[in-house]
Amino acid sequence: MLLERLLPTLIAMGLLGCASEITVISNVPTPLIAPMPYHVAVIIDNDLQGFQYNENIDGQANWSITVGPAAADLVRNIFIGLFEEVIFINSQEDSVDLNQIDLIVYPRLSRFEFDAPIRGNDIFAESWLQFTITAFDTSGNNTGEALVTGYGRSEIFRDREGSVNEATQSALRNAGVNIIATLPTSLKL
Amino acid sequence: MAACGVTARVEPFMETTSNLEQGESIVILGRKHQANYQTESSLVDCISGRLSSGSNGIPIFPSRRFENALFPWFEPSTAPLTTPEFATLLENDLVFDQIAQTGVRYIVWLDGSTDRTDSGGTISCSAGPGGAGCVGLAWWEDDARYDATVWDIKTLDSAGTIYVDYTGRSMIPALIIPIPLVVRTQQAACEGLSEQLSTFFVSNQ
């Protein structure tokens, strides 16, 4: 009798257990740095805003990790701090007063990887991501490209999804630090 | 059963007690730069909570708020590891002013982790028409090793270090029903460190 009552719940739990969906929460603040004296247009396109990573791991689950909104938020906050004046556009085709800007920057989330071990001595969930940041002059010529990575990890306690979320948040923060540290040199600003 | 419990070693080294004047607070931060471990946020939260509670509570500035207010200077890859490095960081006016705004007088750096050092035993469970049950014994040992180093922002000096090492053995004996006898080793380390730190700070507020 008890089994009959519990069976639908157990089946539902089993099915739900096969899918792990995460929407990464943004937590990268505007950096405490002196802005560089540039007027910059930053492209945040739909690919970045809607970036979602899907992976089916054998013996684990179908993971679906929505990173886009948090990554777009990171880009907004970091570039607001990095440059004196920043406007955000959706694509290179958006109308921009070219007399008002020195540079167009196009960041893309080009790679994302994660690991959430379920056995063994490894107790950390880890995330790794890479931004490809391209700069254009006001004539549309490519003036430089930078690859910036971020890595984060979080201890797995009870909630593996929560740990992957935290690891990815840390990876985004780390990418923010690396953008600040390396972008001016990489783009020869 | 007698083997279940905690053994502790605490080594405090503090030059003197430290006074917190009106408007001053301390912030507790975890070290996360090591490759093989990182200090757990749960320990930072536990110690912050214990120090700030009670009638003689010490004013604590929330660690995440501090890290956000000073981003990117207190991230795992950028945080100063020594007081001379910290002094160099404070030459940045933006950082100096922001720390002054927070009112933080002391930074307590927690470094260490709680690790599973040993485990063993087995529990077998079976179920049949007559009922279900388990037989056996499983055990594990956790080691919580931490040091807490206090930096005085006014004097740009290390005011002292506390070292704690707690080892806890937990077990689950099972005779039909498994009975978990879990020792919370990290919690014990939290209590030990909090107690030592609370004797170090004197709030004049």
Domain count, chain B: 1
Asked whether the beta carbons of residue A177 and residue B38 sit closer than 8 angstroms, the reply is no
The two structure tokens encoding residue A133: 């940041």
| Chain B environment of A170 (Cβ under 8 Å) | 76
What is B8-76 written as a DSSP string? EEEEEEESS-EEE-TT-EEEEEE----SS----HHHHHHHHHHHH-STTPPPEE-HHHHHHHTTTTTST
* Selected residue with higher pLDDT from A160 and A109: A109
Taking only the tens place, the pLDDT of each residue in B176-195 is 899 999 989 999 999 999 99
Mutation choice for A interface testing from B66, B71, B74, B114 by most A CBs within 10 A: B71
The chain-wide mean pLDDT, for chain A, equals 86
| Residue A149, pLDDT score | 96
**Chain B residues near residue A30 by CB distance under 8 angstroms:** 71
> Which has more confidence, B68 or A1?
B68
pLDDT of A139 > 60? The answer is yes
List the single residue in A27, A32, A173 with the smallest CB-CB distance to B70.
A32
Q: Quickly state the pLDDT bin for B15 (edges 50, 70, 90).
A: low
Axis crossing angle, helix B41-52 with helix B185-200, rounded to the nearest 10? 40
The answer to whether the Cβ–Cβ distance between B72 and A155 falls below 8 Å is no
CATH number, domain containing residue B139: 3.30.160
pLDDT at A12: 44
Pick the CATH number of A19-186 from 3.30.160, 1.20.120, 2.60.40, 2.60.120: 3.30.160
Q: Which residue has the higher pLDDT, A76 or A94?
A: A76
**Chain A residues with at least one Cβ partner in B under 8 Å:** 27-34, 153, 155, 157, 170, 173-174, 176-177, 180
Adjacency order of strands within the sheet including A36-43: A83-89, A36-43, A103-115, A124-136, A142-155
Is the pLDDT at A10 greater than 60? The verdict is: no
Contact (CB, 8 A) for B144 and B168: yes
Tell me the per-residue pLDDT of B51-89, one tens digit each, with 9 for 90 and over. 999 878 899 999 999 999 999 999 999 999 999 999 999
- Tell me how far apart the alpha carbons of residues A89 and A104 are, in angstroms, rounded to a whole number: 10
Chain A residues in contact with B70 (beta carbon < 8 A): 32
Regarding predicted confidence, which is higher, B128 or B202?
Answer: B128
Q: Do B38 and A155 touch (CB under 8 A)?
A: yes
pTM for this structure? Answer: 0.86
Domain ranges of chain A: 19-186
End-to-end CA distance of chain B: 47
Whole-number pLDDT of residue A86: 95
Predicted pLDDT of residue B25: 94
Partner residue facing A173 (CB), from B38, B75, B95: B75
What pLDDT is attached to residue B205? 61
From the CA of B14, how many Å to the nearest CA of chain A?
31
Q: Are A176 and B72 a contacting pair at CB < 8 A?
A: yes
Q: Do A180 and B68 touch (CB under 8 A)?
A: no
Q: Which residues of B touch A28 (CB under 8 A)?
A: 71
pLDDT at B16: 67
* Three-state secondary-structure class, residue A147: strand
Gap between the Cα atoms of B90 and B156, Å rounded = 9
- For residue A158, how many other CB atoms are within 10 A of its CB? 6
**Interface touch A176/B40, C-beta < 8 Å:** no
* Confidence bin at B130 (pLDDT 50/70/90): confident
3-state helix vs strand vs coil in chain A, percent to 5: 35, 35, 30
Closest CA–CA distance from residue A31 to any residue of chain B (Å): 5
* Predicted pLDDT at A17: 53
Q: What is the pLDDT of residues A27-38, one digit of tens each?
A: 899 999 999 999
Instruction: Say whether A27 and B68 touch across the interface (CB within 8 A).
Output: yes
Select from A124, A177, A183 the residue whose CB has the most chain B CBs within 10 Å, as the one to mutate to test that interface. Answer: A177
Q: Which of B68, B76, B78 sits opposite A29 (nearest CB)?
A: B68
pLDDT digits (tens, 9 = 90+) for B149-176: 999 999 998 888 999 999 999 999 998 8
CB-CB neighbors (< 8 A) of B72 in chain A: 31-33, 173, 176-177, 180
Which residue in the set B38, B77, B94 is minimally distant from A177, CB to CB?
B77
What's the gap in Å between the CA of B204 and the closest CA on chain A?
A: 31
**pLDDT at residue A18 tops 90:** no
Inspect the interface and report whether the beta carbons of A29 and B94 lie closer than 8 Å.
no
Q: Are A153 and A167 in contact (CB under 8 A)?
A: yes
Q: What is the pLDDT of residue A16?
A: 47
The reply to whether residue A32 touches residue B76, judged by beta carbons under 8 angstroms, is no
- Residue of chain A minimizing CA distance to B65: A29
Residue A1 has pLDDT above 50, yes or no: no
**Which residue segment(s) compose the domain that B155 sits in?**
5-203
Please report which confidence band the pLDDT of residue A2 belongs to, taking 50, 70 and 90 as the band edges.
very low
- The whole-number average pLDDT for the span B131-155 is 92
